[in-house]
């Protein structure tokens, strides 16, 4: 058997490959340097990172919205629009994280190449995860990204909370990987020994217990990554302990990539009504628990952790639809919601990065009077929070609207109703920082929060994108629809 490699295969692999290579470059370039200059911004690292990421983005964009070239690498991956959109979200997130990294790491005295290259490594793995179309490549990608993210979570190895969070994340992550692997094995068995998603979809019957259990175990494995209840317990601790930037990266990129892969899986295979009902129950519990638990949180990171859980809950609704076989209905909402969530969350984390650089804390009260000291940051954060709460004129509103209307159309009225109630609850805690920023007196401890231009750029671009998507969602909605329908065929 002679190995051949086609142009499409190289092109498809290019974004991930460039990211991996960029990571290696950063690692090597920083090797000779002593740790004496850790407080400097080391702009060359960020420059290489940004250049590499931009190259990856370019290599993604030259593929455009061309139809997929079919199964690549013997069915291990594909280059369809869905995967490209996922890869796009991740690469853009990586870009913003790299932009913010220099200033953030320098202020904490821990500025080494590892952070930058870990972002690239995990980013590359996530890109692969979005494109993976067989069980093995999914697993390899998810493990690669997990290992990198464990380290990112514990990046501040001298902070007890950071190390503790990373350790918890690692142990529980390994545990969940076990479920994922077991589920894959079941699915493999139930489908008569095929690892490719297309083959599994062709041979799977939803009444098959083995297949249902296998699918469910796989969903659990992913559910851990995205923080679905009851597999969410790591989220608050890790979010609170880990460096803010890692948390932002986890909240946006890990969640997006996992959801993209999970959606691809269930869109391909379905899962039957019973599994859909159980996932619906998980969605309900996740939405309610996430929002209710967030109500009393005073730490911004912890609040956003629970808010992230809640958003996982909302995203489980289209998953339920996809599992129940109505994926076509939920088509547009999946990529759209993930992209909207990504830009919104990045804007929010940009501000938290600025706050934590300035005060080394992240309480709501640290935001007091931000509107007076840093009106633009406050505005960006406000936009982000309103979008997370789903207030009209923001992308979050459109996303939620689509998800809830999809749920109603797909016959899951109760999910939509509970989702709406949950979103109403969420407004309370999303508005608390807004009130603090605009209506409270600034605390005397700091006059001006320094914000690197990377942070400002991120917050500005993401906030504008949030509003822009809220005002002109059409093109992205259509693109999302196109991508999902390409999978469904």
Give the pairing type, strands 77-78 and 71-72.
antiparallel
Span near other proteins by CB under 8 A; candidates 74-82, 227-235, 342-350, 354-362: 227-235
Q: Of the two residues 328 and 431, which places its CB atom closer to other proteins in the complex?
A: 431
Closest distance of CB 285 from other proteins, Å: 10
Which of 58, 171, 298, 435 touches other proteins by CB under 8 A?
171
Q: Is 168 in the site for other proteins (CB under 8 A)?
A: yes
Does 6 interact with other proteins (rule: CB under 8 A)? no
Q: Is 220 in the site for other proteins (CB under 8 A)?
A: yes
Q: Which of 267, 275, 322, 484 binds other proteins (CB under 8 A)?
A: 275
231 touching other proteins, by CB under 8 A = yes
**Among residues 275 and 416, whose Cβ is nearest to other proteins?**
275
Contacts of 171 (CB under 8 A, 6+ apart): none
Least gap, CB of 225 to other proteins (angstroms): 13
Q: Which residues have a Cβ under 8 Å from the Cβ of 33 and sit 6 or more positions away?
A: none
* Residue closer to other proteins (CB basis): 213 or 420: 213
Closest among 489, 478, 58, 51 to 270, alpha carbons compared: 489
User: 449 — phi, psi (to 5°)?
Assistant: -80, 120
Residue 393, interface with other proteins (CB under 8 A)? no
Give the count of residues interacting with other proteins (CB under 8 A).
50
Q: Which is nearer to other proteins, 184 or 332 (CB)?
A: 184
Kindly state the DSSP code that residue 365 receives in the 8-state scheme.
G
Separation CA 216–CA 231 (nearest Å): 13
Q: Is 309 in the site for other proteins (CB under 8 A)?
A: no
- Binding region for other proteins (CB under 8 A) out of 161-169, 347-355, 395-403, 469-477: 161-169
Query: Which 3-state string (H, E, C) describes 228-264?
Result: CCCCCCHHHHHHHHCCHHHHHHHHHHHHHHHHHHHHH
Restricting to residues 190-209, name those near other proteins by CB under 8 A. Answer: 190, 193, 207, 209
Pick from 29, 185, 393, 427 the residue near other proteins by CB under 8 A: 185
Instruction: Rank residues 67 and 230 by Cβ distance to other proteins and give the closer one.
Output: 230
Stretch of 53-61, 163-171, 196-204, 439-447 contacting other proteins, by CB under 8 A: 163-171
- CA neighbours within 13 Å on the CB side: how many for 335? 30
The one among 67, 230, 375, 411 contacting other proteins by CB under 8 A: 230
Both structure tokens of 104? 């953030």
Whether omega for the bond prior to residue 459 falls within 30 degrees of 0, making it cis, is: no
In the complex with other proteins, which residue's Cβ is closer, 119 or 217?
217
- Consecutive H or E run containing 78: strand 77-78
11 touches other proteins (CB under 8 A): no
The verdict on 172 binding other proteins (CB under 8 A) reads yes
Closest contact distance (angstroms) between CB of 245 and other proteins is 22
Q: How many angstroms separate the CA atoms of 293 and 302, rounded?
A: 10
Residues 6+ apart with CB under 8 A from 88: 57, 60
Cα–Cα distance between 354 and 449 in angstroms, integer?
7
- What gap in Å lies between CA 419 and CA 436, rounded to an integer? 26
The answer for residues whose C-beta is within 8 angstroms of residue 79's C-beta and 6 or more apart is 8, 11, 12, 63, 68, 69, 72, 131
> Which residue of 188, 438, 446, 457 would you call a contact of other proteins, by CB under 8 A?
188
Distances (CA, A) of 135 to 81, 192, 241, 348: 20, 14, 32, 34
Give, as ranges, the residues between 15 and 44 that touch other proteins (CB under 8 A): 24, 27-28, 31-32
Q: Which of 213, 408, 427, 460 binds other proteins (CB under 8 A)?
A: 213
Q: Which of 12, 125, 212, 462 binds other proteins (CB under 8 A)?
A: 212
Contacts 24+ apart (CB under 8 A), 471-474: 471/393, 473/336, 473/395, 473/398
Interface residue with other proteins, options 41, 79, 237, 366 (CB under 8 A): 237
Residue indicated by tokens 């890109």: 127
Report residue 273 as tokens: 């009504």
**Cβ closer to other proteins: 64 or 193?**
193
For residue 189, how many other CB atoms are within 10 A of its CB?
13
204 three-class SS: coil
> In which residue are the tokens 């498809």 written?
12
92 vs 190, beta carbon nearer other proteins: 190
Q: Which is nearer to other proteins, 179 or 336 (CB)?
A: 179
Residues near other proteins (CB under 8 A): 1-5, 24, 27-28, 31-32, 164, 167-168, 171-172, 175-176, 179, 185-186, 188-190, 193, 207, 209-210, 212-213, 216-217, 220, 224, 229-231, 233-234, 236-237, 274-275, 277-278, 282, 289, 292-293, 295-296
């Amino acid at each position: 058997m002679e190995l051949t490699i086609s142009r499409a295969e190289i092109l498809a692999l290019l974004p991930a490959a460039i990211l991996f290579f960029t990571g290696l470059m950063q690692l090597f370039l920083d090797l000779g340097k002593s740790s004496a200059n850790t407080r400097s911004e080391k702009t060359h690292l960020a420059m290489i990172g940004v250049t590499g990421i931009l190259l990856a983005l370019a290599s993604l964009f030259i593929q455009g919205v061309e139809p997929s070239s079919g199964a690549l690498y013997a069915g291990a991956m594909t280059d369809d629009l869905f995967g490209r959109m996922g890869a796009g979200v991740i690469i853009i997130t990586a870009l913003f994280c790299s932009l913010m990294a220099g200033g953030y790491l320098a202020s904490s005295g821990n500025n080494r190449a590892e952070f930058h290259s870990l972002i690239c490594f995990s980013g590359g793995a996530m890109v692969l995860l979005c494109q993976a179309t067989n069980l093995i490549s999914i697993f390899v990608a998810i493990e690669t990204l997990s290992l990198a993210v464990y380290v990112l979570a514990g990046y501040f190895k001298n902070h007890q909370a950071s190390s503790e969070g990373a350790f918890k994340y690692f142990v529980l992550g390994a545990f969940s990987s076990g479920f994922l692997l077991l589920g894959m094995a079941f699915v493999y068995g139930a489908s008569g020994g095929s690892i490719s998603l297309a083959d599994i979809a062709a041979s799977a019957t939803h009444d098959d217990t083995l297949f249902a259990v296998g699918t469910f175990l796989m969903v659990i494995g992913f559910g851990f990554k995205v923080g679905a209840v009851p597999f969410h317990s790591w989220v608050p601790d890790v979010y609170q302990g880990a460096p803010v930037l890692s948390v932002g990266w986890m909240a946006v990129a890990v969640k997006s990539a996992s959801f993209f892969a999970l959606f691809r899986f269930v869109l391909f295979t379905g899962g039957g009504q019973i599994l859909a009902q159980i996932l619906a129950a998980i969605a309900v519990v996740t939405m309610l628990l996430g929002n209710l638990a967030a109500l009393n949180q005073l730490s911004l990171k912890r609040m956003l952790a629970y808010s992230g859980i809640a958003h996982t809950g909302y995203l489980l609704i289209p998953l339920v639809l996809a599992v129940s076989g109505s994926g076509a209905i939920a088509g547009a909402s999946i990529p759209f919601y993930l992209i909207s969530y990504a830009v919104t969350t990045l804007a929010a984390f940009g501000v938290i990065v600025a706050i934590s650089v300035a005060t080394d804390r992240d309480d709501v009260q640290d935001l007091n009077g931000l509107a007076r000291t840093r009106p633009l940051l406050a505005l960006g954060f406000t936009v982000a929070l309103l979008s997370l709460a789903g207030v009209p004129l923001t992308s979050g509103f459109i996303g939620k609207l689509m998800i809830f209307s999809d749920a109603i159309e797909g016959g899951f009225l109760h999910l939509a109703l509970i989702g709406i109630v949950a979103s109403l609850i969420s407004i309370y805690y999303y508005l608390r920082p807004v009130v603090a920023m605009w209506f409270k007196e600034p605390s005397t401890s700091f006059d001006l929060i320094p914000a690197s231009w990377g942070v400002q750029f991120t917050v500005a671009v993401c906030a504008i994108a949030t509003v822009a998507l809220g005002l002109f969602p059409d093109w992205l909605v259509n693109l999302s629809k196109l991508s999902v329908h390409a999978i469904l065929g």
